[in-house]
Structure 1
């Protein structure tokens, strides 16, 4: 785990009994997830997924295909899985986490998928994302503003945009080329978290998630927009802690087998 380029983590948290693999939104900084560790306490270790071209992997070519990226992350998880884990992704990260869940969901230690701020994969990419991915310069920046998450200083400064937005543009292009493929329902439970004021994700867009799940997905609606967790990560970590607690109850230590129906 410590030597894998795919993961960013705090070594001080490595002894936790479970892991949360966190997948960032388009253009997002994986390292930002590490600040969520305090909200999880000793329940789990936060592990941020770091795609090629980001963070310490900045010299590598960026990924251009969602499926190939999912293959790479899944292989890295399989190679290091040694304890129960949950997959969490926000927006584009939720699409990627879903595709990874399709690949690793059969592992005994894969316990849950949490998809945040994301319509059902079968509905993606949305028309707005496809149109935004074609834009350049100021037009792209203004279109991205619909989703939120861009600091005002970036929106106002073209020099900052040239410095900070290439990864965002690359991710939008990758999402715009995403080709959903129907498949068997996921073998792990699914939880959806969304902001009630998110202009991009509505309840109708969540309904087809049910077709991706063996059981009806749980839904959590929280105050806020697309980036509802900005400034209050407990909107996510409280849900994660609840899922981990329920999993410990269903899978007690000591090798006891519990049949969950």
Structure 2
């Protein structure tokens, strides 16, 4: 078995393929814990552990997409030793897409499939005002408007102070990244959205079809921006079905 700081669990030597899962802003490897028992034994589910959260809480958060891609690429290289796929949720979809493009551009083996969830297509501009540059109070009000953050964090000044640096870094990375000049991927892309999510709207997922020369599929599931919590089982099943080769 192999272990490094970039992965949230151990990987196995006999896996047919690995599914690297990238978290939403403020999230971590634990976001994918329910999936660990839902995938067959020949697929290694590998939650990606980003700096500034969970077991890497003391590490400096990364707030720039280019720096993140370079760091993640180097960190995951030792466990990209067999076919793999990427799944990214919201900010994680942004990172997974840029990383897949980076691997392709540098001549490295890329993912066999890219799954993106709760993220508009790369050529569609965001329609929410940026948060990362706001004062602390205004920043947290914006976070509250997104939904999904526990009240015990929103209502506790010490918790907010503890989590603000990494969360602000995540929003800066997400809000300042430019995806318009990326090359088209060769692998299939499957996009997921929440039926009640205002950002992205379900129709904004369609633009992902233009990010690949391969196949494209789209699934709209019940729930809002964090439909992972409402429809996680269905989401996992669709991903499994797509990885059966």
Q: TM-score, normalised by structure 2?
A: 0.89
CA contact (8 A) 1:9 1:34 kept: no
Distance 1:38 1:119, change over 3 A: same
Residue 5 of structure 2 is matched in structure 1 by 5
Greater gyration radius: 1
Residue 56 of structure 1 is matched in structure 2 by 55
1:76 Cα shift?
3.1
Deviations 1:27-54 (A, max 9, x none): 1122332331111132411111122233
Residue 119 of structure 1 is matched in structure 2 by 120
Distance 1:216 1:109, change over 3 A: closer
CA contact (8 A) 1:83 1:109 kept: no
Residue 208 of structure 2 is matched in structure 1 by 209
- Alpha-carbon distance between aligned partners in 2 of 1:21 and 1:62, rounded to the nearest angstrom: 20
Match of 1:191, SS? strand
Distance 1:77 1:163, change over 3 A: closer
1:69 Cα shift?
0.7
Residue 242 of structure 2 is matched in structure 1 by 243
CA contact (8 A) 2:221 2:227 kept: yes
- Alpha-carbon distance between aligned partners in 1 of 2:236 and 2:216, rounded to the nearest angstrom: 18
- Between 227-236 and 15-24, the greater mean CA deviation after superposition: 227-236
- Alpha-carbon distance between aligned partners in 1 of 2:208 and 2:174, rounded to the nearest angstrom: 18
Say whether residues 1:178 and 2:207 are aligned partners: no
CA contact (8 A) 1:147 1:199 kept: no
Q: RMSD in angstroms over aligned alpha carbons? A: 2.2
Match of 2:229, SS? coil
Distance 1:108 1:159, change over 3 A: closer
Q: Which runs of 5+ in 1 are unaligned?
A: 249-261
Match of 2:113, SS? strand
Residue 103 of structure 2 is matched in structure 1 by 104
CA contact (8 A) 2:185 2:212 kept: yes
> What are the equivalent positions in structure 2 for 1:127-142 lying under 5 Å apart?
127-130=127-130, 132-142=131-141
Residue 165 of structure 1 is matched in structure 2 by 164
| Aligned residue pairs, count | 243
- Between 68-77 and 88-97, the greater mean CA deviation after superposition: 68-77
1:4 Cα shift?
2.6
Residue 233 of structure 1 is matched in structure 2 by 232
1:108 Cα shift?
5.2
CA contact (8 A) 1:81 1:109 kept: no
Match of 1:8, SS? coil
1:173 Cα shift?
1.6
